[in-house]
Amino acid sequence: MDNLVSSLHRLGGTARTADLVRAGCSAAAIAGALAAGRIARIRRGLLTLPEADPAVRQALAASGLITCASAVRELGLWGLKDPDRLHLWVPHGRPVDAERHRGLLAGSPGPGPYAPVLDAVLHALRCRPPLEALVIAESAVFRGRLGVPDLLAHLPGPRNGPARALVRRIGGPESPLQVLARELFRPAGLRVQTQVHLDGIGRVDLLVQGRLVVELDGFDFHWTRPEFRKDRRRSNAGVLSGFPTLRYIYEDLVFEADRAVAEVLTVARRVA
């Protein structure tokens, strides 16, 4: 019975009976766990732990897979924000209480409740706002999960033109905030370089117009005293070298983008 519960945990807390059998769980163990209340049956062929993730339950109950922006964290990709509704790939036309993604899968699904990385990214490129979709796609390329040619090969025809244009904007080894900042500042007419080494200062996140340093503090950034002191010294060194610094966090770029762009434009003009 313990092996059964462990297998269910590994599969996300909810799994098809066939997947559990393939994992080495016997019919007797399944029956015993049901009788003891250790697991529950959602419907025929689908079992769950009482504490299982509701999204996983919903996906498997719908015979679907979690995809698009709903899957990025589990798949190890970047995301800007959690979607308002669960995104599911479903192979049928029955009603589901979720954002529905249809069509044949391009990748090979595993035994769990999540779409393959390739499909999750393709769904995001066709579904999410451009900046959010670009961050998701760029993270898959940055982490070596996909290549730009892989994505372009699965985006044929006129309908996929906007998605192809996004894929072609994928840049270098950047963080999600650097991708977002790059895509906010460049349309404003600013020349933006990422991950630039400046003598006496070190590597900076962004160099705008060749003179303004923009540093970005990530999603999980927490200053320690030594980090705080190091960043202050870097900022001071930048000013002394003629490179003033602006700093932004996630909320600045996502919720107050217009203000951030206006500030960067103002300072960039002063130091040009």
Q: Does residue 237 share a domain with residue 217?
A: yes
CATH assignment at residue 38: 1.10.10
Instruction: Report pLDDT for 238.
Output: 63
Please report, for residues 131, 201, 220, 228, 231, the alpha-carbon distance to residue 225 in angstroms, rounded to integers and kept in the order given.
Answer: 33, 19, 16, 5, 10
Assess whether 70 and 158 both reside in one domain.
Answer: yes
Same domain, 153 and 110: yes
Q: Looking at residue 222, what is its pLDDT?
A: 47
Q: Are residue 79 and residue 24 in the same domain, yes or no?
A: no
Task: Kindly state whether residues 158 and 190 are assigned to the same domain.
Answer: no
Do residues 141 and 159 both lie within one domain? yes
User: For position 199, which CATH number holds?
Assistant: 3.40.960.10
The gap from C-alpha 36 to its chain's centroid, in whole angstroms, comes to 39
Torsion of the alpha carbons at 102, 107, 108 and 113, rounded to the nearest 10? -50
Say how many domains are in the chain: 3
Residue 15 and residue 90 in one domain: no
Are 204 and 232 in a shared domain?
Answer: yes
Q: What is the pLDDT of residue 255?
A: 87
66 lies in the same domain as 151 = yes
66 and 38 share a domain?
no
Q: Domain limits at 192?
A: 176-271
* Tens-digit pLDDT string for the chain (272 aa): 678 888 888 887 888 888 888 888 888 888 888 888 888 888 888 888 888 888 988 998 899 999 999 999 999 998 888 899 999 999 998 899 999 999 999 999 887 789 999 999 999 999 999 989 999 999 999 889 999 999 999 999 999 999 999 999 987 666 788 888 988 999 999 999 988 998 888 889 899 999 999 998 865 554 555 665 666 677 666 666 778 999 998 889 888 999 999 999 999 999 87
Are 151 and 215 in the same domain?
A: no
pLDDT of residue 239: 67
Same-domain check for residues 65 and 163: yes
